[in-house]
Structure 1
Amino acid sequence: MTVTHGFHATMTARPGQGDALVELLLDAPVMSHQDCVVFLVGRSASDRDVVHVTEGWTSEEAHGRFFASEVAKAYVARLAPLVAGESRYVDEVPVGGKAALD
């Protein structure tokens, strides 16, 4: 499947909420969405409250449609209280690589 839209986001959890933020992200509704073909969650090795997400979508339109859905809005409402301040986004389109996580 081709990825034509994506980004890398860095967010800082409220103090002590990094684990809760990671847990919620790993249960994101995009994990089962067919148009989201890359969804990786990582965290800073030096600050456990700093969390990174890389997403890759089949299209910008598919991403927009999903985030306009009621499921996505409800999810973002659950996520927002865990995040301190503004998240930083970088335009990035994943093109390949490897992830082997368990």
Structure 2
Amino acid sequence: MSVNHGFHATMTAKPGKGDELVEFLLNAPSLPNEDCVVFLISRSASNPDIVSVTEGWTSQEAHSRFFATDQAKELVAKLQPLLDGESRYSDEVPVGGKAAF
């Protein structure tokens, strides 16, 4: 399955909530989604409250369709109380690489 739409989000957790934010994202009940081909969580080595998400989707339409669902809206609502300020987003399309966890 190819990735045609993606983004990178950088979030700052409320002080001391970085572990909780990572755990929440890694266990997001609405993912996996068949149209979400890449879902990578990482964090800053120097500040554990800074967490990044890289997503790759089959299309922008699939991404929009997913985030219009009640399940996704609930996920976002539960995420917000963990965050300190606005997340930063940049568009990107993952094209390949390697991951071993």
TM-score (norm 2): 0.97
Q: Tell me, which stretches of 5 or more residues in structure 2 are unaligned?
A: none
Tell me what 2:97 maps to.
97
After superposition, the CA RMSD in angstroms is 0.8
Hey, which bits of structure 1, 4+ residues long, moved more than 3 A? none
TM-score of the aligned structures, taking structure 1 as reference length: 0.96
Asked if residue 73 in structure 1 is aligned to residue 78 in structure 2, the reply is no
Structure 1 segment 21-60 matched on structure 2, within 5 A: 21-60=21-60
Shift of 1:29: 3.6
CA contact (8 A) 1:38 1:56 kept: yes
SS in 2 for 1:32: coil
Q: What is residue 3 of structure 2 aligned with on the other side?
A: 3
**Where do 5+ consecutive residues of structure 1 fail to align?**
none
d(CA) in 1 for partners of 2:97, 2:39: 13
- 1:31 CA displacement: 2.9
Identity of aligned residues (%): 69
**1:30–1:36: 8 Å Cα contact kept in structure 2?**
no
For 2:8 and 2:79, locate their aligned partners in 1 and report how far apart those are by CA, in whole Å: 17
